[in-house]
Structure 1
Amino acid sequence: MKLDVNALGTFYRMAREGAGLAAGRLTGMTGVDTQVGVTKLNFMRGDEIRHDFEDGTSKVGIRVELSGGIDGHSVVVFERESVQTILEALLAEADTDEFDELSQSAATEVGQIMNNGFIDGWADVLETVIDVSTPEFVEGETAEPFFGGLEAAPDSDDLALVFQSHIEAVGHETGFRHYLFPEHDSMARLLDRIRTSDGIEYDKLEGFDRMAEQGAEEVAKTATTLTGIETSVEIRRLNFLSLEAIPAEVADERLVGVAFEFDGTPSGYLLFLFDEDSAHEIVDAMVPTETDGEGEFDEMGRSAITELGNIMASGFLDGWANVLDTTIDHSTPEFIHDIGAAAVDPVVVRLGESQDYAFVFDTKVVADGREFDCEVYAIPDEDDLERALNALEVDRIDETPTTAEFADIEGT
C-alpha cells in the first residue's frame, strides 16, 4: 500500500469538508451556532489509541459500517459531558445524567448526523457513493467497547490514520474524536486512485514514525542529563495537517524556545517550546546563580536554554541521519520568547512558499513532580521527506544507535 502528499491532502480535504457538513447539521438539529476548530490527521499506533481512552473519563460513541467507496468502520467518540451539553439543547426538560431510552436515542441521532456529515463530505471529495449501516450506540471508559471486534482496528504496533476535529457549539468547545478504520484492500484501491506520484510504501512511514520515537526518547534523555530533572516522553504524534493549522496547535501563552533550520535529507525545521515556568526551571537547574524565576531571561539564561536546545537538536537529527545513512546539518539556535502562534509563524511562512501541507512530529516531554514541559515540533520539507522515506531501510532503525554529545554550559 502506497501513499503520497496528494493522497493525504485529499484525505485532509475530506476531513475538513466532512467536519464542515457535520457542524452545519449539528446547528440545524440543535438551533445553536457552531464552527469547526482544528482538523488534523494523526498517524497513531493501536496501543496509543487505546492509551488515549484510559484517562478515567466516560465516553459515548456512535459506530457505523461503511461500504462502497470505502469499506470499513467510522466511529465518532464524544466525552460524555459533551454529549450531555448537546442533549440539554435538544431535550430541555429531560434528565441527561443517565442515558435512558429517550436520551440514548437522541445521542444516537446526533452521532449519526455527525457520522453522515463526515461521510457525505468524503463522498463529495472522492466523487463516489459510500453506504452507511444502521448506527450502533456505544459507551465506556476504555477502547474495547468502541473498537473491540473490529477487524480493521489496528493492533498494538500497527499505525492507523485517525481523523481529529473539534466543533465549538452552545458556548462550549464540543470536542470529539473521529476514527476511520478502513479495510486494507479498500484503502489500497483508494490510494491507487488518488495518488499522483509513485508514492511511499506505508511501512516506510511506520519506520519514520519509529525514528521520531527514538528522537523523542533522545530528547528526554538529553534533558535529564543536562538539567538533572528526570524527564520522559508523555505524548508523541505524527500529524499531517495544513500549514495554516499549525499555529492553532500551539498553546496561547508566552512561550520560550529554540528554533532550528536543518538541511540535508530531509531538510526542514525543528522547534523546542517551553512555557515560561518550565524555562525558568531549566535555567535554575543549569545555571548556578540565583534567579527570580520569572520575567525576562538574561544572557546566561538565554545561553542555557539555547545550548540545551542545541544539544537536543543534535541528538534528534543525528539519529535520523544515522538511520538514513546521510548527513543532516542544523543552523545555529534561534532563541524565541513570544506569545503562542507568533512563536511558530516564521516557520509556517517560510514553508508556505513551497508547500500547503506538512508532516509534523509533535512530542511532549514532561518531568515527574517538577515544572518541565517541552513541546517538540519537527517539520520536514514534504519533497525531501518523500525522498528520505523512499531511501529508508526499515531494518536499520532498530539496529542503528542514536547518540548525543554533551557539552558544558558556559558559566556552569
Structure 2
Amino acid sequence: MDVDIDSLETLNLLTREGAQEASDALGQMVDTPTVIDVTKLLVADSADITADIHSGTKHGVQFDVDGKLSGTLLFTFDQECIDTVTELLVPGAASDSMARSSVTELANIMMGGFLAGWGDHLETGLDASPPTYLEADELDAFEIESLGPDTNSVLAFGSTVMWRDNTVGLDIYLIPDRESIETVLQEERDREDAQPQAQDTTADSGGFGFNQGSESDAGPFADDGDDGPFGSGDSGDETVGHDADTATADDSPFGVPDSDDDSLAAGDGDAEGEDGPFDDGADEFGFEMDDDAGADSISLDKLSVFSDLTKEGTEAAAEQVTMMTGIETTTEIAGITFTPIEDIPETLEDGDYVGTTGEFEGTPSGYLIIMFDEQSARNIAEAMMPVDPGDADGLTDMHESAIEELGNIMTSGFIDGWANVLQTSVEHTPPEFAEDMEMAFMEILTDQLGQFQTHAFSIESAMHTPEIDFNCKILALPNEAELETALDALDVDRQDETDVDPDDLF
C-alpha cells in the first residue's frame, strides 16, 4: 500500500490536535497547565512497541474504536501519574477502587477530545467502547497485531502529555486496524488529488462535545446516573466527531565535515570502473535536492520491512560494540517515526549529550547521529582504552578519539545491512565527535532537512549494557525523497540478507 506523504502529515497533525484536546481536558480536570511533549507516527516491530507500552510500572485504559477509523486507543499511566491524578481529583486517602475510577474517568474525558477532531476530519462519527481499565499485569498481556504476514511491524500514532514541569506524564497510543487505515489514507490521497492546491490540514476540533448518553448538550461532565466520582458513567459506546450529538467544531488550538577522500562504503557497491555516487562532479559531500525534492508517496508495506531492517541494523551495531569492548550489549526499541521536524528534539531526555555525527550518501542519503550521555561516553570510551586515563575532569582527547572510533564502527554496522538488502552502495563520512550534541543535532535538523521538508522520517534505536553505566541512542535521518527511492527498489525477498562480514568492513 502506497501512502501519500502529505496524507501522513495531515494525519500526524490530526494526532497532535487530538493530543492537544486531550491535554486541555486533562488541564481542566486537574487544574494544572499541561503540554504536548511529542507527537509522532511510529512504524516499529510489534514486540518493541508492546515492550515500550509495558515499560515501567504502568496501568492503562483501553477503548475499542469503531467507524471509518477503527482500532485501539490506549492511555498508559505510571504509578506516579496515577498517584498525582488521584490526589488532585480525590484529595485524601483514596482507595484503590477510587484511584482506578479517577484514572478511568480522566481517560474517558481525554478520549473524547482526542477522537473528536478525527471524526470531524473524516466527516463521520467514531464510536468508542466503554473504557476498560488494565492493571499492570493485564497491560503486560496487551498485544498488537502486525501490519501483515511479511513484516513484524505495526503502525501507531503516539503522543505524550506532560505537566508539573515535565515531571509527570502519560502516553497515548492510537493503533488503527490495517484495513481502516488503508481506507483513511486512500481518502486523504483522493482529497489531495481533487484539491492539488495548498490546503489547511489543521483539524477542526470537536472540543469536549461527545455523546455520553445524555439527552442534553451538557457535555462530558453530565450525570447519566452512574456512580463514578464525576457522574459521567461508562454504560455504553460513545460517539465522537462529525456525527456526535453534542459535538462542536471549534478551531483547536553536527556540523559534519566535507570529506570526499575519506568516505567509507558499505554494501554491494559499484563494480570497479562504474560510476559511483560521487562521479557527477559534485564538489561537496552530501546530497543535493531541488526545491521539489520531497517524496510523493511511500510504500507502507516496504516501510514496515525497512523498520524490521532497522532493528537488525541496531543489533549489528551492538555486536560491533561487543567486539571492541568485550562487553555484552542489548538493544531496545528500534523503529521508524514520522514526526514534525520541530518535535524531534523533544524525543531527547533532559541532560547533556556528546557523540558523533556523520553523513551517508547513496540510496538512501542522510545523516547518522550517535548520542551518549556524558557518563556513558566516558565509561564506554575507557572500556576501549589500553591504559587508564586517570581522573581528569571531563573528556580527554583519548576519550574523544575512542568515541569517534566507536561511532565509525557502529555506523558501518548500522547501515551495511540496508545496502546489502537494497543492492546499492551507501557511503559515509568518518563520524566527527561533537561535544555539544544538541547544537549539532539542531544544525542538521534546521540547516539541512528543515530547508526541504516539514516532517522527517527518523530511524530510532537504542542500546545499553548492564555491565557498566552505558546507554546510547542512534538516530538516522534519511532524506525523504531518497528514502522513497530506496523503498521503491526494496526487494522484500532479500530482507533476511542483512548479515555483515567484518572483513568486508575493515
Q: Distance in 1 between matches of 2:389 and 2:146?
A: 54
Alignment pair present for 1:133 and 2:132: no
Tell me: CA distance 1:281–1:200, structure 2 relative to 1, closer, same or farther (3 Å).
Answer: same
Alignment pair present for 1:347 and 2:451: no
Query: Cα distance, 1:269 vs. partner?
Result: 0.5
- RMSD (Å) for aligned C-alpha atoms: 2.8
Deviations 1:102-148 (A, max 9, x none): x5443332111111111013234x24223223422312224558746
The question of whether the paired residues in 1 share the 8 Å contact of 2:151 and 2:308 is answered with no
Alignment pair present for 1:5 and 2:13: no
More displaced, 396-405 or 376-385?
Answer: 396-405
3-state SS, counterpart of residue 74 of structure 1: strand
Deviations 1:363-389 (A, max 9, x none): 111112212221111111111111111
Q: Distance in 1 between matches of 2:381 and 2:139?
A: 44
Query: Cα distance, 1:398 vs. partner?
Result: 0.3
Alignment pair present for 1:167 and 2:161: yes
Q: Distance in 2 between matches of 1:156 and 1:53?
A: 23
> Which residue identity is paired with 2:31?
G
Q: Distance in 2 between matches of 1:153 and 1:264?
A: 28
Query: Cα distance, 1:71 vs. partner?
Result: 2.3
The question of whether the paired residues in 1 share the 8 Å contact of 2:152 and 2:308 is answered with no
Tell me: CA distance 1:250–1:72, structure 2 relative to 1, closer, same or farther (3 Å).
Answer: closer
3-state SS, counterpart of residue 502 of structure 2: coil
More displaced, 345-354 or 394-403?
Answer: 394-403
Tell me: CA distance 1:341–1:251, structure 2 relative to 1, closer, same or farther (3 Å).
Answer: farther
Alignment pair present for 1:314 and 2:408: no
Deviations 1:160-208 (A, max 9, x none): 2223322233566442222223232221111111135873332211210
Partner residue in 1 for 2:96: 98
Matches within 5 A, 1:64-83: 64-83=63-82
Tell me: CA distance 1:142–1:266, structure 2 relative to 1, closer, same or farther (3 Å).
Answer: farther
Q: Distance in 1 between matches of 2:32 and 2:444?
A: 37
> Which residue identity is paired with 1:177?
D
Partner residue in 2 for 1:117: 113
3-state SS, counterpart of residue 252 of structure 1: coil
Query: Cα distance, 1:358 vs. partner?
Result: 1.2
Deviations 1:208-258 (A, max 9, x none): 012111210111011111122221213323222111112222233222211
Matches within 5 A, 1:236-315: 236-292=334-390, 295-315=393-413
Query: Cα distance, 1:281 vs. partner?
Result: 2.1
The question of whether the paired residues in 2 share the 8 Å contact of 1:280 and 1:294 is answered with no
What TM-score, normalized by structure 1, do the two folds share?
Answer: 0.88
Q: Distance in 1 between matches of 2:311 and 2:145?
A: 26
Partner residue in 2 for 1:178: 172
Q: Distance in 2 between matches of 1:355 and 1:172?
A: 29
Query: Cα distance, 1:352 vs. partner?
Result: 0.4
The question of whether the paired residues in 1 share the 8 Å contact of 2:104 and 2:131 is answered with yes
Tell me: CA distance 1:404–1:97, structure 2 relative to 1, closer, same or farther (3 Å).
Answer: farther
3-state SS, counterpart of residue 482 of structure 2: helix
Partner residue in 1 for 2:473: 375
> Which residue identity is paired with 2:38?
V
> Which residue identity is paired with 1:190?
V
Partner residue in 1 for 2:276: none
> Which residue identity is paired with 1:88?
E
Tell me: CA distance 1:143–1:215, structure 2 relative to 1, closer, same or farther (3 Å).
Answer: farther
The question of whether the paired residues in 2 share the 8 Å contact of 1:166 and 1:173 is answered with no
Structure (1/2) with the larger helix percentage: 1
3-state SS, counterpart of residue 398 of structure 1: coil
3-state SS, counterpart of residue 327 of structure 2: coil
Query: Cα distance, 1:53 vs. partner?
Result: 4.5
Q: Distance in 2 between matches of 1:67 and 1:371?
A: 45
> Which residue identity is paired with 1:14?
L
Q: Distance in 1 between matches of 2:357 and 2:164?
A: 38
Q: Distance in 2 between matches of 1:405 and 1:223?
A: 16
Q: How many residues align?
A: 401
> Which residue identity is paired with 2:47?
D
Deviations 1:249-293 (A, max 9, x none): 223322221100111110110011112222222332222233135
Partner residue in 2 for 1:331: 429
The question of whether the paired residues in 2 share the 8 Å contact of 1:162 and 1:180 is answered with yes
Identity %: 35
> Which residue identity is paired with 1:179?
Y
3-state SS, counterpart of residue 333 of structure 2: strand
> Which residue identity is paired with 2:182?
A
Q: Which has the larger radius of gyration?
A: 2
Matches within 5 A, 1:159-238: 159-170=153-164, 173-195=167-189, 199-238=297-336
